[in-house]
Structure 1
Amino acid sequence: MQFDYLKHVKGGLDRHAVLDELMQAYGKDVWNFAFFMTHRRELADDISQEVFIKVFEHLYNFRGQSSVKTWLLAITRNTARDVLRSAWIRRVTLMPSRYEAQQSHPSAERETIDKLMTEQVWAVVLKLPPKLREVLLLSIHYGLSMNEMADMLGVSTGTVKSRLHRARNAVNRKLDEDAVLTGGEKWT
């Protein structure tokens, strides 16, 4: 809501100040989404920079058809896809980074258990096919509606619902398989 004025502005704003505000408000979301798309911290850094350069250059082109957050995530998605399709990325294999959850908990035992569970879930989510992973992350992590995701991804709402359902089932199935193998409790 705080950036609704952008859809009415055609010029005259201090773009540097607006960019600073957008980076403060959504910089972490943009970086996280870039990381989830690429699995690489260094690429997420580069993509985030590229996203905000594009936003700076096209700030007056924001039409307000979606929220600013959805607009930024769409730019992030498209930029990440372009980077992943580039010839350089296809030829060079980098070692993937591990997701590191940073949380504070009252006891060391609780912290260790929670960290292991979080790592297990993220490992499963990050192994999903890109189309399933992105709808799951957009829904759960970023809280986008079905319509916002459909607009952002350029697919129908039914396709988003189907992908989200398949993603959740895949995660639950994998976590249940892992529980059976390790003798733990089922997740579902």
Structure 2
Amino acid sequence: MESSYLRYLAQAPDHDKDAILEELMNSYGNDVWNFAYFLTRRPDMADDLSQEVFLSVYHNLFRFRGDCSIKSWLLTITRNKVLKVKRSAFLRKVILVDYVIPGGHTRSAEAEMFDRADTRHIWQAVMQIPLRFREILLLHVHYQLNGKEMAELLGIPEATVKTRLYRARRKLEAILDKEKGRE
């Protein structure tokens, strides 16, 4: 979806905005949810935050200026919502359990294990590094944003993005090396 197209449609009546929202959700819904989950480590919070992001987008379509890509705009909104929730006193007082792994079924045992073991191991290691480094890695590796886009999304200088990315890689490497030493 082109940014100029979105800006044009943002001025449309509400029934057209419903179609825009649906298209945005279909195109970027998984990205928004994954980013929210990655930052919070909680699937229930990622669900709620994703809904809040798209509700906010619906009400603020006219504010999209086209200075960045639509994906960057949505991820910025997601990040801001996550930070707001993490700062809230409600979250600190009410949520007592960090994370519960839901039970479920897997496909074929050996095939699933070998296909996903390495990837899961790496993502578990990524989840151990501090948030500011974790989000840089996610934006770079998973969402393939460049330094300028990450800087705009995070509200930091591009040089800081490069420094954090370098440090994130070193921290991840140290965790993986430490785990190899235990095996």
TM-score (norm 1): 0.87
- The percentage of counterpart residues that share the same residue type is 44
Relative distance call for 1:156 and 1:176 in structure 2 (3 A) is same
Q: Is the helix fraction higher in 1 or 2?
A: 2
Q: Equivalent residue for 1:11?
A: 11
Q: Which runs of 4+ in 1 moved over 6 A?
A: none
Task: Note the C-alpha offset of 1:168.
Answer: 0.8
| Matched position secondary structure for 2:99 | coil
Query: RMSD of the alignment, in Å?
Result: 2.1
**Structure 1 125/169 Cα, relative in aligned 2: closer, same or farther at 3 Å?**
same
1:110 shift after superposition: 4.8
In the alignment, is the contact (CA less than 8 A) between 1:51 and 1:75 conserved in 2? Answer: yes
Match of 1:93 among 92, 96, 104: 96
CA contact (8 A) 2:40 2:46 kept: yes
* Contact kept? 2:9, 2:20, Cα under 8 Å: no
**Unaligned 5+ runs, structure 2:** none
Count of equivalent residues: 179
Q: In structure 1, the residue corresponding to 2:71 is in which secondary structure?
A: helix
Alignment partner of 1:171: what SS? Answer: helix
Q: What secondary structure is seen at the aligned counterpart in 1 of 2:171? A: helix
How far has the Cα of 1:3 moved from its partner? 4.3
2:144 aligns with 143
Q: 2:72 aligns with which of 54, 70, 91?
A: 70
Q: Mapping of 1:118-137 within 5 angstroms?
A: 118-137=119-138
- After superposition, what is the alpha-carbon deviation per residue over 1:123-172, rounded to whole angstroms, capped at 9, x for unaligned? 11111111101110000000111000001111111000000111111111
Post-superposition CA distance 1:22-51 (Å, at most 9, x none): 000000000000000100000000000000
Classify 1:57/1:67 alpha carbon distance in 2 versus 1 (closer, same or farther; 3 Å). Answer: same
| 1:49-107 superposed Cα distances (whole Å, 9 cap, x missing partner) | 0000000000011000000000000000000111111111111222414499x998xx8
Alpha-carbon distance in 1 for matches of 2:109, 2:164: 37
- What stretches of structure 1 of length at least 5 have no aligned partner? 183-188
What residue in structure 2 maps to residue 36 of structure 1?
A: 38
Determine which of 33, 48, 55 is the counterpart of 2:50: 48
